[in-house]
Structure 1
Amino acid sequence: MTTKASNPPMLPHQIPVAGLPDQFKVDLQRGLTDAEAKQRFDEHGPNALQEAKRESAFQIAVRQFNSIIVWILAAAAVISFVLEDTVEGWAIIAVVLINAITGFVLEWNAQQSMDALRQMDTAPARVLRNGRVHEISSEELTIGDVLIVEAGDVVAADANLFDVNQLEVNESSLTGESLPVAKQTDTPEADAPLGDQYNRLFKGTAVTAGNGKAVVTGIGQETELGKIATMVEEAERTATPLEEKLDSLARVLIWVTLGLAILFLGVGLLRGEEPESLIKTSVALAIAAIPEGMSVVSTIALAYGMLRLARKKVIVKRLSAVETLGSTNVIFTDKTGTLTQNRIEVHAIQTPEGYAELQIDAAAKTQRVSAGDQALPATDNSQLLMLTGILCNNADYDTDQEPHKEIGDPVEVALLKWAYSTGKDIDTLKSQWPRQAEKAFSSDTRIMGTLHEVNAGQLAEMPAPGGKYFVAVKGAIEEVMERCTGLDEKTRQAQQDVSEQMAADGLRTLGFACRTTDTRPGDDFAGSDLTYLGLIGFLDPPRTEVTPALEECRKAGIKVIMVTGDHPATALTIARQVKLVDEDETLVLTGKDLKPIGELSDAEKARIMESRVFARVNPAQKLDMIDLYQQHGDIVGMTGDGVNDAPALKKSDIGIAMGLRGTQVAAETADMVLKDDSFASIVKAIGQGRVIFENIRKFVLFLLSCNLSEIFVVTFAGFLNVGNPLLPLQILFINIVTDVFPALALGVGRENRQLMHEPPRDPKQPILIAADWRLVVAYALAMTLSVLGIFWIGIHELGFTQAEANTVTFYSLSVAQLFHVFNLYSGDVTFGRLFKNEITRNKYIWWAILLCTGILLLTYFVPFLRSVLSIQELTAAPLELILAAGLLPVLLIQLLRKVTGWGH
């Protein structure tokens, strides 16, 4: 596939800026038209790397037979055929096939589920088309598109730069160079390696500072990343930590079961019993006790849980993250957009002339002064303040669309909406003051500056500032005033006091300044000699759903901590409003209060861990706080949206990226992405993580207790010499019925409200702790006593033949195991809780019971199955015994739970 608009006579990095328009047939100032973009997309295809070769249906099917469990089953089948018991041999093969088919169907569905998740998580790209900035899917990029990048973006395609503003790119994923590369538009040497091609952007690299514009020169497989990808073989499939725990548990169970089977065989031989019968029963016993479906059902439980989270606007990127998610007990959260609505508007302006609160309606193009100086917005100084906000701005507010489209930082969009509400033509103003240079915002300087050339003949809408060049600056009030001249100490303090009061009222504040000059300033054009214009207060109201979500966190034993770059007073006000802290709380720590973790005393560490609100915190300090809590033994979740948040997202146990306002770097680093940026979604995700793990724990308890009951029934009967209550084929059939459908139903349960009223579990614990093993044994003994009791009554009291007793025992154990699911609810034993809990509300449980009941009825009424399983015709009396055997273990377990206090 050709990937250039025309065949270039030179390598991409040798094409000079002046040659880009002709080479790629594009207007650098307006970009491609929609028609041109469509034509090129049709020609070159989507900007997507070829997917790694997935496992085929055949490969997934073959893998179902490659396990120690299948090998044991195969050996059992061989033994059966050697002993000339062909029916049993074919039955074992049927077990293998049924388990393989079940595993194949579940894994295939899981693969489709993961494909659905990938489709929900597509990265955007900003391009210039028809003279306007558009946000499109990165797959829609095509050759010749004008790509716009800024700090936080992951570059979506290979491109040649023609405009850079302090642009730095981390290319370590491509070149291995750990330091960011400063980009420029000059043409490098012809033989320059990738790391020295400073006029190019490469797909998959991360923009760490500044911004720039570039022409797309390569997409998909023809990018440098794509060329490398074609040479890399598909990575081997690796197990998640949870799968490894389950596999380890299964291996232990296999050896324990084999040991019991050998013991049973030995005891039988010492008693002089028939060796062939003993071997058959021992083999069937070993097979029956193996939880074949455990690993498969766990994978499905995780995958379906992830899909449920995706429908709730939470994308979990790694299966293994789900286990950690449910164990999280500390969450570091940002303020803006997570605890607040991120619906930012200009609320108040303060200039040296006065103060005014505004009510702005951009849609209706109206502005009203709700409090303060009514005439202030019309003054020349306020108009210059507005002009500075328009020019020192990288956002786009497209009023040609309905509803109006907002692209960029919400604060910058708010400035444009303020100007638009007063009737200003934003595009015209930007063209009258064309930008010449930019000093990008950084966490070190905390300001942004732009340099503009003044076109004196076109200053119709705003007061002419004078001079040939105009410098516009915005940023933290203290940093802006530090760079201004002509401000006495009294004025500085007065402006600082106003800023403090605005912050105390929950407003986010920015200071603004400008300067004019007849000569073009140097690179440090925003560093000094500025004229102070005033400050603007932005309102971002709290999200209404945050307060109940925080209350839920408290009940769940989760500590929530606000970490923001905003003003301390603003942070504390919002924390009080959402009830993160009490109304009388005054403790707020700032970056200045935080020493490196190695220099902290025990008292200082205690004070940090006492505080719930941190303001003016830099990225290194976020890392130290996460480290402090992790050293304390906590499982830490961290929210983030920017490039600077990436290290903290990576270091935390669960990195949570913001999907709406977040950068691609943050999304790539995080374990999960919030599509709605809502803190309530984090709480939902933690709750779902707990549900998923509890579902896995429940079906493991269920499988082990059911399988152990089969072992106990056969071995206890053998040791007590009361006959053989179950035939080998009957054991195999019970295992098929109870191992698949009820366990799967438990694994995909949707809710368990009880879990968010309990403290988080320790992720270092195994799936089953000592108390769980006691439950397994108790459950198995309850079913065993009930079933063996029915077997004894049938033989000794009702005069059943051995065949009739086997039939009753077969159905009794099957029904007891089906009813056993109702023992696995969480919480205390009460009459109401027994009939209304997460198990009874799980519709899949009822479907599984109905399906298994139907299968059991088929074994009785279908002659072939009756013959194979040696089922005898029963009267009404045995039916009553079977129902009693199914219900009695439930009653025994409920009584045991009530007396001992054991629960789930």
Structure 2
Amino acid sequence: MPVRIRARDTSDTTDGVGDSATGPDDVQRLPADRLREALNSPPGGLTTQDAARRRTRCGPNQMPRAPGRGAWRLIAAQLTDLFALMLLLASAGTFVIYAMGRPRDTGTLQLAVAILCVVVLNASIGFAQEYSAERTSESLQAMVPHRCRVLRGGEVTDLPAADLVPGDVVLLEAGDAVPADCRLVEAHDVTVNNAALTGESAPVGRSAQAVDAGPLLRARNCVFMGTDVISGSARAVTFATGTATEFGRIFRLAAAAPRQKTPLQHQVAAMARRVAGTALATGGLLFAVRLPAGQGLVPSFVFALGVMVALVPEGLPATLSVSLAIGVRRMARSHALVKKLLAVEALGSTTVVCTDKTGTLTQAEMTVTRIWAGGGTHRVSGVGYAPVGDVQDPDDVRELLLSAALCSNARLLRPEGHGHWRVLGDTTEGALLVAAAKAGVDPAAHETAGPRTTEHPFDAERMLMSTVTGTPARGYEVHVKGAPQAVLGRCSALMTQGGSRPLDETARKAVDVANDELASQGLRVLAVARRTASGPRPDRQEAESGLTFLGLAGMLDPPRPEVSAAVAACRRAGIRIIMLTGDHPLTAEAVARRVGIVRHPDPVVVSGTELGALDEPGLEALLARPGEHLLCRVSPEHKMRVVTALQRRGAVVAVTGDGANDAPALKHADIGVAMGASGTDVAREAAVMVLLDDSFASIATAVRLGRAVYQNIRKFLVYLFSHNIAELVPILAATFVGFPLVPLTAVQVLAIDLGSDVLPALALGAEPPERDVMDRPPRPPHEPLFSPAVLRRILFLGGIQAAGVCAVFFWHINATGIPYAQFTADDPVYRKAITLVQAGIVVSQFFNALAVRTERESIVRAGLFSNPWLLAAGAFGILLMAAISYLPPLQAVFHTAPLNATDWAVLAALGALLLAADEARKAWLRRRTVTAQGGPS
């Protein structure tokens, strides 16, 4: 009875797919004929009818589309913001008061409409910013090739990859993307690039031979969706499609991972709750105080509403959204695309960066850097696939590089347009071709003079390949390259500068020492050998024995040249860097040392197997160990566990990556940073930030800009909330002294908050980063936006403003000698008094904006005119206030009166006093800092 293999994650029970399954281990260990029988897959492929039935049960070979946030959801999110809900409630209550009033008060209706307009304006700005940031394409489908070649009914058919089903026979060649998880049943010199799934930078060989059961991704006879065939050709049987594939498993991990809120989201939410609670409690308390005093229901409600509106920073949501958008644009100019506004600040809060290696720290291009030949080591300069660079003593290595190039199936492709040099085929062979070009070797000319006559492809057992070419002078020659020990074992002679000599034990030890020295530098080492052939087609045994050892080539995936400086900048900023890679520990450590992630002799190097054996407390203890951490051979699950463990320890974690295997960790991190040029679409989909130039240096730039965003947010918070104190205190003062009317109406408050404050706050949000921003440690993740220092400054500046506007209001009211009880809303004296209060707040805020630009540095030194947008915004606010004071239509809406030149001079003097007081505070802070550091007192 045939063994039946279950297609993973399906309920198929017929057609030989799913009957009495024993699991994916059978895919690896069964011989090809037994595998076909188990999957009910005829040699000529499935019939169209069989394939249709299986597709009905298994579903299409594609990932489900991620649900996007529609426009209505984005709008709903803006309208359900806590501040928006408070204002909507206030507007609704005001509409009710207007409707119930007899006679109806037009001013009450104007107030209700004004509050509603504030909500609509804030929601519109926030929606516009979020909508533009959310418009990223659902690009996961691009990871699955659109078409593939399949045997159906004995004929080769070109099909959409989505139509592939378990049991289909797929034909693969170099350059093809693997359309599903398949078991090879025929393989000829096949290598695949598994970097998208495993993170390994080097291509890996594949064969059709049965292997022992083990981790499926390590099975040498399987290929997987989302990977590429680098060389060779193969015939494979599909055993998993769609979400049942290894790629689908990673997709499910990424989909299940919750999107983490940024520190700023948590802090803004906490701040909104506190402000909203304070506003509602204060308004309710004053309503309860005034109602029994005989003020009436409607006047008491309007008064309480004015208090609540004065406490709520109506302009904050719009200011925050636009300020973050300014950060987005700045980061875009620095090649960092941010998909969510609040992520701008998150990277500035980062305490740990978990970085991938291949394509992130390195260029994802193999490069020969050392050649051992003739008894000595020769350096090779230049990086990447561009044949630009030099070989030290090229005459000594030309024979080695010629044989290596002739034993190659790769091709070096010239740039097209504004592109760059590329390799078609195995990247290792491409690196050898580039090194040959640097040494002045032209393999194409040699192939023209003596074409290839025989090839014995690479396989996993021999660990080498060989070719036979003709030469006009020496007849036929065999060229061999492969693993050093495999090639050395077939050699009987060694080429030296003096010619060929027997390969004795001393010579073998010299080769071993050279191989170990290259490997210790993290280089991938290949050996090259040659011999004369008796004819054009020697059998493999003859071709690969009695060889002359030419030497060794050491290559690596070179670090990006700008990474070292970026790593150093992150270190200065107090950010810990942990490498997470699928590569070998020696390779990972070599790259880490080159870029400066590892500087000490004994880093903490942990393999994926060791990580998997740790429980959660053990993992946290490992990550808490002092020193530099390199986590190698890790799986997607390992990366997610590491991120979670760091977050439990209070870290703000940024994760970089480019492969599909990075997607779950990218989504689970506080901020996921994907590579834009070389990264896979699934990684870009999971991340909230995409580096358009794939440069790790852009991360350091983004950290600097993110920190500047947070600093600027605090600046305009001080700016906004300090004038809220100036709005609230006069209202409270009027209550306690028994003045029957409010010194500042709710409509005036809205005009200040949106008409005069938003533009200066935005200009503060555009302040450039301070010079020492990257020399400070990360701010504590749980530090509130309203830190003690911020609160002290708000109270300091707000107290000065409040004292000034209270003084001008009561000075003007008391100067008339009219008793408080006789004042009415239409009294010209009262109207001018409330105009003085509104204008006093607007003018003092102009000087306040100049003060909050710096924390300790004098504004004179920073430059009064260094932020022209701030000056223009302040001037606009003052001009708007003048219009409210002088234009009759606006006077009717705001109940204001015209001010004279003396009034404006008094208000300007109060504003200048505020700036002078803050300059004195900064000078005191500077002196205290100098004294604390041991300077002159």
TM-score normalised by length of structure 1: 0.69
SS in 2 for 1:331: strand
Choose which of 631, 634, 637 in structure 2 pairs with 1:619: 634
1:424 is displaced (CA, Å) by: 1.5
CA contact (8 A) 2:360 2:658 kept: no
User: What do residues 215-265 of structure 1 show as CA deviations (whole Å, max 9, x unaligned)?
Assistant: 9xxxxxx9999x9xxxxxx99x99955446534532432232122122223
Task: Give structure 1 stretches of 5+ with no counterpart.
Answer: 1-10, 23-46, 130-139, 173-181, 187-198, 216-221, 228-233, 440-446
* Cα distance in 2, alignment partners of residues 52 and 626 from structure 1: 25
Is the counterpart of residue 329 in structure 1 residue 345 in structure 2?
A: no
Percentage of pairs with the same residue: 26
Cα RMSD (Å) of the superposition?
6.1
* Cα distance in 2, alignment partners of residues 262 and 622 from structure 1: 51
Choose which of 257, 261, 269 in structure 1 pairs with 2:279: 257
Is the counterpart of residue 88 in structure 1 residue 108 in structure 2?
A: yes
Q: Find the counterpart in structure 2 of residue 804 from structure 1.
A: 832
Task: Give structure 2 stretches of 5+ with no counterpart.
Answer: 1-16, 18-38, 49-61, 149-159, 165-169, 198-205, 211-220, 236-241, 249-254, 493-502, 532-536, 818-827, 930-937
Choose which of 873, 877, 880 in structure 1 pairs with 2:905: 880
Q: Find the counterpart in structure 2 of residue 103 from structure 1.
A: 123
Q: How does 1:297-696 map to 2 (within 5 A)?
A: 297-319=319-341, 321-333=343-355, 345-351=367-373, 355-357=377-379, 370-371=392-393, 374-378=395-399, 383-388=402-407, 390-391=408-409, 396-399=411-414, 401=416, 405-407=421-423, 412-420=429-437, 421-425=440-444, 439=460, 449=463, 464=476, 472-474=481-483, 490-491=506-507, 493-499=509-515, 508-512=523-527, 534-538=551-555, 545-560=562-577, 575=593, 586-587=601-602, 598=614, 609-611=626-628, 617-619=632-634, 633-641=650-658, 653-662=670-679, 667=684, 670-696=687-713
* Cα distance in 2, alignment partners of residues 141 and 857 from structure 1: 68
**251 and 337 in structure 1: CA distance in 2 versus 1, 3 angstrom threshold:** closer
**437 and 484 in structure 1: CA distance in 2 versus 1, 3 angstrom threshold:** closer
User: What do residues 793-846 of structure 1 show as CA deviations (whole Å, max 9, x unaligned)?
Assistant: 33345889222211111111122234433333344243545536xxx7555534
Choose which of 310, 332, 356 in structure 2 pairs with 1:288: 310
Partner amino acid for 1:802? Y
Q: Find the counterpart in structure 2 of residue 758 from structure 1.
A: 776
**649 and 893 in structure 1: CA distance in 2 versus 1, 3 angstrom threshold:** same
SS in 1 for 2:131: helix
CA contact (8 A) 2:374 2:551 kept: yes
Q: Find the counterpart in structure 2 of residue 112 from structure 1.
A: 132
* Cα distance in 1, alignment partners of residues 234 and 487 from structure 2: 35
**833 and 359 in structure 1: CA distance in 2 versus 1, 3 angstrom threshold:** closer
**834 and 787 in structure 1: CA distance in 2 versus 1, 3 angstrom threshold:** farther
CA contact (8 A) 2:675 2:690 kept: yes
Partner amino acid for 2:778? P
1:73 is displaced (CA, Å) by: 1.8
CA contact (8 A) 1:509 1:535 kept: no
Is the counterpart of residue 778 in structure 1 residue 796 in structure 2?
A: yes
Partner amino acid for 1:67? L
CA contact (8 A) 1:331 1:638 kept: yes
SS in 2 for 1:510: strand
Partner amino acid for 2:336? V
Is the counterpart of residue 716 in structure 1 residue 733 in structure 2?
A: yes
CA contact (8 A) 1:499 1:509 kept: no
Q: Find the counterpart in structure 1 of residue 748 from structure 2.
A: 730
Q: How does 1:103-142 map to 2 (within 5 A)?
A: 103-115=123-135
**826 and 280 in structure 1: CA distance in 2 versus 1, 3 angstrom threshold:** same
Partner amino acid for 1:814? V
* Cα distance in 2, alignment partners of residues 764 and 462 from structure 1: 75
Q: Find the counterpart in structure 2 of residue 741 from structure 1.
A: 759
CA contact (8 A) 1:125 1:147 kept: no
Report the more deviating stretch, 104-113 or 494-503. Answer: 494-503
Partner amino acid for 1:682? I
Is the counterpart of residue 791 in structure 1 residue 809 in structure 2?
A: yes
User: What do residues 341-398 of structure 1 show as CA deviations (whole Å, max 9, x unaligned)?
Assistant: 6776434322476544456899998997533x734423xx55433444x24xxx6521
CA contact (8 A) 1:547 1:579 kept: yes
**360 and 108 in structure 1: CA distance in 2 versus 1, 3 angstrom threshold:** closer
**722 and 609 in structure 1: CA distance in 2 versus 1, 3 angstrom threshold:** same
User: What do residues 619-654 of structure 1 show as CA deviations (whole Å, max 9, x unaligned)?
Assistant: 279889778866664444444455666676667654
Q: Find the counterpart in structure 2 of residue 703 from structure 1.
A: 720
CA contact (8 A) 1:328 1:760 kept: yes
Q: Find the counterpart in structure 2 of residue 219 from structure 1.
A: none
Partner amino acid for 1:862? L
Partner amino acid for 2:730? V
Partner amino acid for 1:405? W
Partner amino acid for 2:813? I
1:761 is displaced (CA, Å) by: 1.8
1:595 is displaced (CA, Å) by: 6.2
Partner amino acid for 1:721? G
SS in 1 for 2:395: coil
CA contact (8 A) 1:659 1:667 kept: yes
* Cα distance in 1, alignment partners of residues 119 and 473 from structure 2: 76
SS in 2 for 1:537: strand
TM-score normalised by length of structure 2: 0.67
Q: Find the counterpart in structure 1 of residue 214 from structure 2.
A: none
CA contact (8 A) 2:130 2:341 kept: no
SS in 2 for 1:801: helix
**16 and 316 in structure 1: CA distance in 2 versus 1, 3 angstrom threshold:** farther
User: What do residues 840-888 of structure 1 show as CA deviations (whole Å, max 9, x unaligned)?
Assistant: 7555534433433332232123211112212112221111122233333
* Cα distance in 2, alignment partners of residues 214 and 58 from structure 1: 48
Q: Find the counterpart in structure 1 of residue 93 from structure 2.
A: 75
CA contact (8 A) 1:127 1:147 kept: no
**624 and 238 in structure 1: CA distance in 2 versus 1, 3 angstrom threshold:** closer
CA contact (8 A) 2:716 2:761 kept: yes
1:714 is displaced (CA, Å) by: 0.8
Report the more deviating stretch, 119-128 or 736-745. Answer: 119-128
Choose which of 817, 820, 833 in structure 1 pairs with 2:848: 820
CA contact (8 A) 1:70 1:96 kept: yes
* Cα distance in 2, alignment partners of residues 568 and 200 from structure 1: 26
CA contact (8 A) 1:17 1:161 kept: no
Q: Find the counterpart in structure 1 of residue 56 from structure 2.
A: none
1:494 is displaced (CA, Å) by: 2.6
Partner amino acid for 2:698? S
User: What do residues 36-91 of structure 1 show as CA deviations (whole Å, max 9, x unaligned)?
Assistant: xxxxxxxxxxx999896764589839964883431222212322443422233123
SS in 2 for 1:425: helix
Partner amino acid for 2:414? T
Point out the structure with max Rg over C-alpha.
2
Q: Find the counterpart in structure 2 of residue 862 from structure 1.
A: 887
CA contact (8 A) 1:168 1:207 kept: yes
User: What do residues 545-593 of structure 1 show as CA deviations (whole Å, max 9, x unaligned)?
Assistant: 44543443343222346677578699569847x66677xx644565589
Partner amino acid for 1:859? I
SS in 2 for 1:806: helix
Report the more deviating stretch, 71-80 or 290-299. Answer: 290-299
Partner amino acid for 1:537? G
1:101 is displaced (CA, Å) by: 3.3
